[in-house]
């Protein structure tokens, strides 16, 4: 890359990262959640990218960090004077302690058995949540307040963003540096061939426990940062959704690229936040995107961009067009179906003698009986499919 | 004291007994070959010595210390290194990084996370020297999985030797090689294993006779003869069981 391109990229990244300092609470909150998700997914991917260990229970370590931080802030309210900037470290600490305990057990096995053990641990903690009132606060959870610290009030979220940004930078730097250390190299080799590594004299179980502890500590740090921002946490953070999020984000972003998971996490968190106001079907679209990426872009979005072969501009545009056409008609179909199959629509139909009354979607009045309503999206989808089919044919002949 | 010593070792998988009472002694500094027809149990015996399997009964000692209840990594740390018959490397690592894993193990660098692997000058120098020894220096930055077969075998050898082992177990180091490649590999092994104990499983009789001081013949899980190459070539039972078809 040319020097001035690099400088421009660094400047742009800096501007994007610092911009939320000027945002209102609504968007500072979004920026915080994107950064936290990015750090969490990257921490999760330490295990997968290096050692090929797929954890299905990382919500536990994230949640451990969140609870530790909220409890510490409550202690702060009671008179303990830990500066707010150091509070997220409590998340990293509790994540690493739980990580050593759970990691020791889970890494006794590799492959599918490892995944199953992490899943079982997560289910265990999740079911424990509502029962252990003193620690997890039951259904209501635990709440606390940020106290002013170091001359800043930390009342507005853009001030909190500063802490989140700083600690995320430390977290990402750790992940980047770890890959270069001897232990990082050994962990990488472990993912390829654990048996061979043992015959070189390495205790592979210990390597896996170290790696798991580091991954859990950084997950705990991410959870701790969210804890500082949200000031509240309940046991649902241990639920399947928070363990699934880093898995989906990592594979959509690109598991074998250092910052692929961070990109995927920021992208999906950002989209999720914006689109959850517009549609109730965001999780469905995220699921479909996940399936499609795993099927057609196994290297993930960033991975395909970096490693994929260079295409002529015309083909890249055609490909994007095909994807847009297909996804637009898919979204139209899903949204229409969610309206037409809803209870309110069927009661509306009943009041109109069972006729297919028109419905509103994307600010348009649509009649379910009209051929154009279904024909246009169908034609769009077919066009998209034909374009991508032609592109594929050309690729194979080339 | 012998480098490798097996007494009355047996190994059973379910109802089939693969190793049926093996007594074997390999002296310190000796180059010893283990030959035998397919299915005789040579690889199983290797796996028993290197700790991958535990014997069903009997004793194994390495350099006078009992080892048959130890894990592979403990045995490796006692100065025993093995190569694998089926090339078994790290697909995502470069040639350089692969050899560095062995060298780091030898230098005792394991749970180090406060400095980069590249900053260890002594390790880097050893890696470069080893790569030069096995003629892979010009391939240092190629992924191990992308090397041609014979170079993968050379890399396998380099990783094994990176541990600076006192006892080296090589499982068919010339398998699948052309005559010239095999001759090169033999010269390489001879040079790099000077002064160390070598136990090698090999099918190629030319390799065995030119490389080794003594030979043991394994047939149906039992050693039927041990001796110098010319004694083995004259042994009637060996010729009947194995060499009659394999050598002439």
Is residue B187 domain-resident?
no
Which chain B residues are closer than 8 Å to A192 by Cβ?
Answer: 89-93
Radius of gyration of chain A (CA): 24
Pair (B159, B106) in one structural domain: yes
Is residue A200 domain-resident?
yes
User: Are the CB atoms for B163 and B102 separated by under 8 Å?
Assistant: yes
Pair (B97, B68) in one structural domain: no
Is residue B189 domain-resident?
no
Is residue B7 domain-resident?
yes
Check residue B246 and give its pLDDT: 47
Q: B185 at the A interface (CB within 8 A)?
A: no
Pair (A107, A27) in one structural domain: yes
Q: Residue A12 burial by CB count (10 A; 0-12/13-18/19+): exposed, middle or buried? A: exposed
As a whole number of angstroms, the distance between CA B98 and CA B243 comes to: 38
Pair (A201, A231) in one structural domain: yes
ipTM: 0.85
- The secondary structure of residue B199, as a DSSP letter, is E
Tokens matching residue B47 = 């796996």
Q: Do B117 and A182 touch (CB under 8 A)?
A: yes
Q: Å from A175 to nearest chain B CA?
A: 11
Check residue A69 and give its pLDDT: 93
Last residue of a domain, one of B164, B182, B214: B164
Q: Å from A61 to nearest chain B CA?
A: 22
Is residue A304 domain-resident?
no
As a whole number of angstroms, the distance between CA A172 and CA A148 comes to: 27
Q: State the alpha helices, DSSP H only, in chain A.
A: 3-18, 25-45, 51, 59-77, 88-106, 111-128, 133-136, 157-178, 182-192, 194-199, 204-230, 240-253, 260-275, 282-296, 300-307, 313-340, 343-351, 371-397
Which of B71, B84, B101 minimises the CB distance to A186? B101
User: Are the CB atoms for B5 and B66 separated by under 8 Å?
Assistant: no
Residue A185 to residues A178, A229, A366: CA-CA distances in angstroms? 9, 35, 59
Q: Å from A161 to nearest chain B CA?
A: 28
Last residue of a domain, one of A246, A272, A298: A298
The arithmetic mean of pLDDT across residues A133-162, rounded, is 80
Angle at A235 (CA atoms; ends A254, A80), nearest 5 degrees: 100
Check residue A310 and give its pLDDT: 67
Check residue A298 and give its pLDDT: 81
DSSP element (H, E) containing B126: helix B121-133
3-state secondary structure A271-329: HHHHHCCCCCCHHHHHHHHHHHHHHHCCCHHHHHHHHCCCCCHHHHHHHHHHHHHHHHH
Is residue A4 domain-resident?
no
Pair (A259, A365) in one structural domain: no
Which chain A residues are closer than 8 Å to B53 by Cβ?
Answer: none
Q: Which of residues 153-182 of B touch A (CB under 8 A)?
A: 159, 163
Is residue B190 domain-resident?
no
Residue with tokens 């006692």: B78
Is residue B175 domain-resident?
no
User: Are the CB atoms for A67 and A73 separated by under 8 Å?
Assistant: no
As a whole number of angstroms, the distance between CA A104 and CA A148 comes to: 39
Q: Do A181 and B84 touch (CB under 8 A)?
A: no
Q: Do B50 and A192 touch (CB under 8 A)?
A: no
User: Are the CB atoms for A197 and A190 separated by under 8 Å?
Assistant: yes
Q: B116 at the A interface (CB within 8 A)?
A: yes
Among chain A residues, the shortest Cα distance to B110 is held by A183
Q: Do A206 and B50 touch (CB under 8 A)?
A: no
Last residue of a domain, one of A246, A265, A298: A298
As a whole number of angstroms, the distance between CA B117 and CA A230 comes to: 39
Tokens matching residue B77 = 């740390």
Which chain B residues are closer than 8 Å to A182 by Cβ?
Answer: 104, 109-110, 112-113, 115, 117, 120
As a whole number of angstroms, the distance between CA A284 and CA A275 comes to: 12
Return the number of other C-beta atoms located less than 10 Å from residue B164's C-beta.
Answer: 16
Which chain A residues are closer than 8 Å to B52 by Cβ?
Answer: 195, 199
Which of A182, A189, A203 minimises the CB distance to B90? A189
A162-188 pLDDT per residue, tens: 889 999 999 999 999 999 999 999 999
Pair (A336, A217) in one structural domain: no
Pair (B69, B38) in one structural domain: yes
As a whole number of angstroms, the distance between CA B196 and CA B155 comes to: 19
Pair (B84, B160) in one structural domain: yes
**B121: CATH:** 3.40.50.300
Q: Which of residues 63-102 of B touch A (CB under 8 A)?
A: 71-73, 76-77, 81-82, 84, 88-93, 97-98, 100-102
A301-358 pLDDT per residue, tens: 888 888 766 677 777 788 888 888 888 888 888 888 888 888 888 888 888 777 777 7
Q: Are strands A359-361 and A232-233 parallel, antiparallel or unpaired?
A: unpaired
A261 has pLDDT over 50:
yes
**A50: CATH:** 1.10.3470
Is residue A247 domain-resident?
yes
**What residues does B57 pair with on adjacent strands?**
B10
Return the number of other C-beta atoms located less than 10 Å from residue B165's C-beta.
Answer: 22
Pair (A190, A117) in one structural domain: yes
Pair (A261, A341) in one structural domain: no
pLDDT in tens, chain B (248 residues): 788 989 888 998 888 888 888 899 999 989 999 988 888 888 889 889 998 899 999 899 988 888 888 899 999 988 899 888 777 788 889 999 999 999 998 888 777 777 787 778 888 889 999 998 888 889 889 998 888 888 888 888 889 889 889 899 998 888 878 888 888 888 888 888 888 899 999 878 888 888 888 999 888 888 888 888 888 888 777 777 765 554 44
Residues 6+ apart with CB under 8 A from A296: none
**What residues does A359 pair with on adjacent strands?**
A366
Is residue B28 domain-resident?
yes
Is residue A10 domain-resident?
no
Q: Do B116 and A180 touch (CB under 8 A)?
A: yes
Pair (B24, B55) in one structural domain: yes
The arithmetic mean of pLDDT across residues A255-278, rounded, is 88
As a whole number of angstroms, the distance between CA A92 and CA A62 comes to: 9
Q: Å from B48 to nearest chain A CA?
A: 13
Check residue B242 and give its pLDDT: 65
Q: Do A200 and B91 touch (CB under 8 A)?
A: no
Tokens matching residue B137 = 């220096």
Which chain B residues are closer than 8 Å to A178 by Cβ?
Answer: 113
Return the number of other C-beta atoms located less than 10 Å from residue B113's C-beta.
Answer: 17
A72 has pLDDT over 80:
yes
Pair (A61, A185) in one structural domain: yes
A189-205 pLDDT per residue, tens: 998 888 889 999 899 99
Tokens matching residue B237 = 């039972």
User: Are the CB atoms for B26 and B2 separated by under 8 Å?
Assistant: yes
3-state secondary structure (DSSP) of residue B85: coil
Per the structure, how many domains does chain B have?
2
As a whole number of angstroms, the distance between CA B46 and CA A198 comes to: 15
DSSP element (H, E) containing B207: helix B205-211
As a whole number of angstroms, the distance between CA A177 and CA A231 comes to: 31
User: Are the CB atoms for B134 and B157 separated by under 8 Å?
Assistant: yes
Residues 6+ apart with CB under 8 A from B83: B156, B157, B159, B160, B169, B170, B171, B173
The arithmetic mean of pLDDT across residues A285-300, rounded, is 85
User: Are the CB atoms for B84 and B76 separated by under 8 Å?
Assistant: no
Is residue A319 domain-resident?
yes
Cα atoms in the Cβ-side hemisphere of radius 13 Å centred on A250:
23
Pair (A293, A337) in one structural domain: no
Check residue A397 and give its pLDDT: 67
Range list of β-strands (E), B172-219: 197-201, 214-219
Check residue A15 and give its pLDDT: 83
Is residue B178 domain-resident?
no
Pair (A254, A342) in one structural domain: no
Mutate to test the interface with A, among B43, B46, B52, B73 (most CBs of A within 10 A): B73
Pair (A55, A152) in one structural domain: yes
Which chain B residues are closer than 8 Å to A201 by Cβ?
Answer: 73, 76-77, 105, 163
Pair (A76, A142) in one structural domain: yes
User: Are the CB atoms for B112 and A177 separated by under 8 Å?
Assistant: no
**What residues does B13 pair with on adjacent strands?**
B16
Q: Å from A26 to nearest chain B CA?
A: 39
Which of A180, A189, A204 minimises the CB distance to B101? A189
Q: What is the DSSP string of A16-36?
A: HHHGGGGS-HHHHHHHHHHHH
Per the structure, how many domains does chain A have?
2
3-state secondary structure (DSSP) of residue B168: strand
Residues in chain B: 248
Q: Which domain holds residue A242?
A: 17-298
Which chain A residues are closer than 8 Å to B116 by Cβ?
Answer: 177, 180-181
Which chain A residues are closer than 8 Å to B71 by Cβ?
Answer: 198
Q: Do A193 and B88 touch (CB under 8 A)?
A: yes
Residue A375 to residues A148, A218, A330, A333, A339: CA-CA distances in angstroms? 60, 50, 13, 11, 18
User: Are the CB atoms for B181 and B150 separated by under 8 Å?
Assistant: yes
A&B contacts, CB < 8 Å:
95
Is residue B182 domain-resident?
no
Q: Do B50 and A199 touch (CB under 8 A)?
A: yes
As a whole number of angstroms, the distance between CA A21 and CA A28 comes to: 7
A360-398 pLDDT per residue, tens: 777 777 777 778 888 888 888 888 888 888 887 776 665
Q: Which domain holds residue B84?
A: 80-164
A217 has pLDDT over 50:
yes
Check residue A210 and give its pLDDT: 93
As a whole number of angstroms, the distance between CA B37 and CA B41 comes to: 9
Pair (A365, A263) in one structural domain: no
Mutate to test the interface with B, among A49, A180, A182 (most CBs of B within 10 A): A182
Is residue A106 domain-resident?
yes
């Amino acid at each position: 890359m040319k020097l001035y391109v690099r400088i421009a990229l660094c400047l742009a990244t800096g501007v994007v990262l610092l911009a939320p300092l000027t945002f209102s609470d609504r968007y500072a909150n979004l920026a915080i959640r994107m950064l936290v998700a990015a750090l969490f997914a990257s921490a999760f991917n330490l295990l997968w990218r290096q050692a090929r260990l797929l954890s299905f229970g990382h919500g536990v370590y994230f949640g451990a960090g969140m609870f530790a931080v909220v409890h510490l802030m409550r202690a702060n309210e009671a008179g303990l004077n830990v500066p707010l900037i150091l509070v997220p470290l409590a998340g990293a600490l509790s994540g690493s302690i739980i990580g050593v305990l759970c990691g020791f057990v889970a890494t006794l096995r590799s492959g599918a058995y490892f995944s199953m053990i992490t899943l079982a641990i997560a289910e265990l903690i999740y079911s424990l949540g509502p029962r252990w009132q003193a620690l997890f606060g039951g259904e209501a959870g635990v709440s606390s307040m940020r106290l002013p610290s170091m001359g800043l009030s930390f009342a507005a979220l853009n001030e909190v963003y500063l802490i989140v940004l700083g600690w995320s930078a430390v977290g990402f730097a750790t992940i980047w540096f770890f890959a270069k250390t001897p232990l990082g190299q050994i962990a990488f080799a472990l993912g390829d061939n654990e048996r061979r590594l043992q015959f070189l004299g390495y205790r592979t179980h210990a390597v896996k426990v170290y790696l798991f502890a580091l991954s859990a500590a950084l997950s705990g740090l991410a959870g701790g940062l969210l804890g500082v921002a949200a000031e509240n946490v309940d046991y649902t953070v241990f639920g399947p959704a928070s363990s699934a999020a880093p898995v989906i984000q990592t594979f959509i972003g690109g598991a074998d690229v250092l910052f692929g998971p961070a990109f995927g996490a920021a992208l999906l968190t950002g989209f999720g936040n914006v689109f959850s106001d517009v549609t109730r079907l965001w999780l469905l679209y995220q699921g479909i995107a996940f399936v499609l990426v795993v099927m057609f872009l196994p290297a993930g979005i960033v991975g395909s961009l970096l490693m994929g072969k260079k295409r002529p501009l015309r083909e890249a545009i055609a490909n994007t067009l095909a994807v847009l056409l297909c996804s637009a008609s898919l979204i139209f179909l899903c949204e229409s179906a969610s309206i037409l199959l809803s209870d309110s629509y069927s009661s509306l139909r009943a009041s109109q003698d069972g006729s297919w009354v028109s419905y509103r979607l994307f600010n348009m009045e649509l009649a379910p009986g009209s051929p154009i309503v279904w024909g246009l999206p169908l034609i769009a989808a077919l066009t998209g499919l034909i374009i991508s089919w032609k592109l594929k044919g050309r690729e194979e002949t080339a | 004291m012998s480098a490798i010593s097996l007494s009355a070792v047996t190994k059973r998988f379910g109802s089939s007994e693969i190793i049926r009472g093996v007594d074997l002694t390999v002296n310190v500094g000796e180059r010893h070959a283990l030959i035998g027809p397919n299915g005789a149990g040579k690889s199983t015996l290797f796996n028993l010595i290197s700790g991958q399997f535990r014997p069903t009964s009997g004793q194994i000692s390495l350099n006078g210390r009992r080892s048959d209840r130890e894990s592979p990594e403990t045995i490796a740390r006692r100065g025993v290194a093995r190569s694998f018959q089926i090339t078994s490397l790290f697909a995502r690592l470069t040639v350089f990084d692969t050899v560095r894993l062995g060298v780091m193990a030898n230098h005792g660098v394991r749970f180090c996370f406060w400095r980069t692997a590249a900053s260890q000058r002594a390790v880097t120098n050893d890696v470069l020297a080893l790569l030069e020894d096995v003629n892979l220096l010009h391939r240092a930055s190629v992924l191990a999985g992308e090397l041609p077969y014979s170079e993968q075998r050379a890399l396998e050898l380099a990783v094994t030797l990176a541990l600076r082992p006192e006892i080296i177990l090589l499982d068919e180091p010339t398998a699948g090689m052309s005559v010239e490649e095999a001759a090169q590999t033999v010269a390489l092994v001879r040079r790099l294993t000077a002064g160390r104990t070598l136990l090698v499983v090999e099918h190629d009789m030319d390799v065995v006779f030119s490389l080794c001081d003594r030979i043991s013949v394994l047939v149906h899980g039992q050693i039927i003869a041990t001796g110098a190459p010319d004694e083995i070539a004259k042994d009637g039972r060996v010729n009947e069981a194995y060499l009659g078809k394999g050598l002439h």
